[in-house]
Each structure stands twice: as structure tokens, then as C-alpha cells.
Amino acid sequence: MRIGVAQLTSTDQVDVNLQAVEKCYVQAAKAGADLVVFPENTLFFRIRSGDRVRGLDWLGDEMKYLQSLADRSLAALMLTTAIEDTTHGMFNATVVFQAGLEPELLYKKIHLFDVDVVGAAPVRESDSFSAGGEPRLWEFRGWRFGLSICYDLRFAELYLRYAQRADVILVPSAFLVPTGKAHWHTLLRARAIESQCYVVAPAQQGEHRSGEAVRQTFGHSLIIDPWGTVLYEFSDGLGVHVLELKRAPIEQVRTQIPMSAHRRLKPV
């Protein structure tokens, strides 16, 4: 599986973000990616506190445009953004586009980020979003992907649902700088080690500006193997990196340390 991991500095201008997505997607597809994954808040990043989050219409022009990109390539395109559901509210959701198929809403973020972190402005994600309620395993070209989004990363019980069942866990994120410095690498490596699978975490990075308003995100998009080794890490900057994931490391780790056979407390 050749996976492309994109790092962005999204804005509150959807058209600008779409251009960044297209640039990264085309580059990764040309490099032979089977799947290109983008961070949380890909198409709209709220920068000014109090602004309404722009949720995209499931049947809107932006979705049609992304589908047209996927229709011209063999690579699947996956991103996480605000999706407006007129019946059930707005969700922070992961969507995938594949050639010749309808767009599919795969996962809705379960744990909403309502926090007051020293060094950052308070965040109340529940003011804008409804919470999802179900873990999701997605199968693609013979690989199984466990889906999660950003703040989900702190809740180990979700990842116990994926342990031994997923080949790759995806964690598209927009981590704050203080929590990123303290916890990003530790939590992601722990999820890979305890689940004995790859972890792929595309992230927002840098200064997001809208007029005089500025928000900062930590970045450091990561690809981690089932032993907990960082295979690739973005430093500062934007772009996309394509890396081949192989099955052998998953099998080797699970054979050497057979956690599935030793587990005594079963996930509910």
C-alpha cells in the first residue's frame, strides 16, 4: 500500500484550500500513491473565534470538484472536514473519493474538543458540531483502516476496537501547539505499539491567518510502523509525502509479541 500523507495550513477560504488539496493530490498520485490522506479541517479552518463553521453540502460543488479529481486518477482521496447534515446537524467527518464511485462519508468524530489549555484560546467544538457514535473499519484494496480524528487520539478504548483488526490507523488532526509539543508523538507511538499496526497522522501546521486573527497548529505529520518507529515526520512546511507500507512488519510484531492471545480484558 503506497500512502500519501499531506500537511496543510488551511484557511477559512474554501477555494484556497481546494487548490492546496489538488496540488498535493496530483503530486502524490503521480508518485504512485494508492491513497492520499489529508488533515482535519482540510476545507475550512475557523480562525476567528466566534465565526460560524462552514459545513459543506454533501451534494455541493466542492464535493463534485473533489470527485472529479478522483475520477481522473487511480488514487483514492480522503479528507476530514465539516459536513452539514440538515437532518442531524453538523459533523466533523472523514470522507473518501474514489474513481467511478460515489463519495462516501466514512466516519464522524466521536470525541469533541471542548478544552481550556494554558497557552491557547479556549475551544468548544460542541458549539458547532454533533458527535458521532460509532468506530469504523474501512477496507480498501485488501487493507483495513481504523478511523479516528484528532481529539479521539486520547481515548484508548476507541483504539482497542481497532487493535488486531486494523492494518493502519488514521488520525487526521489539527493539534494545538502546547498539546502537540507535550503529547503528539507519545500518543501516536503508543497507539501504534498497543494496536500493532501502522499509524498515519496527517496534520495541520503553522500560522492560520484571517485578517488580524491568527491561530497556530503543531504539524509534525507522522507515519509510524507497528513497532512504534517513526518512518517519516514532516518538519515545518507544507506538502505531501508518499511511503510504501508493507504487511511483513505487522505480521512480525504480532508474532513476536502475541498480544491478541495474551489479552485478558476484552474490549467491549
Helix (H) or strand (E) holding 169: strand 168-170
Q: Give the amino acid at 154.
A: R
Q: Give the amino acid at 63.
A: M
Q: Nearest CA to 227 among 258, 172, 187, 190?
A: 190
Catalytic, 197? Answer no
Beta-ladder partners of 210: 213
Check if the beta carbon of residue 96 is closer than 8 Å to that of residue 103: yes
Selecting among 62, 108, 150, 197, the annotated active-site residue is: 150
- 89 dihedral zone (left: phi>0; alpha: psi -120 to 50; beta): left
Return d(Cα 26, Cα 266) in angstroms, integer: 43
Selecting among 62, 109, 125, 197, the annotated active-site residue is: 109
Task: Indicate the DSSP class of residue 214.
Answer: E
Return d(Cα 214, Cα 199) in angstroms, integer: 30
Q: Nearest CA to 250 among 155, 153, 166, 128?
A: 166
Selecting among 24, 40, 108, 197, the annotated active-site residue is: 40
Catalytic, 40? Answer yes
Q: Which residues are known to be catalytic?
A: 40, 109, 150
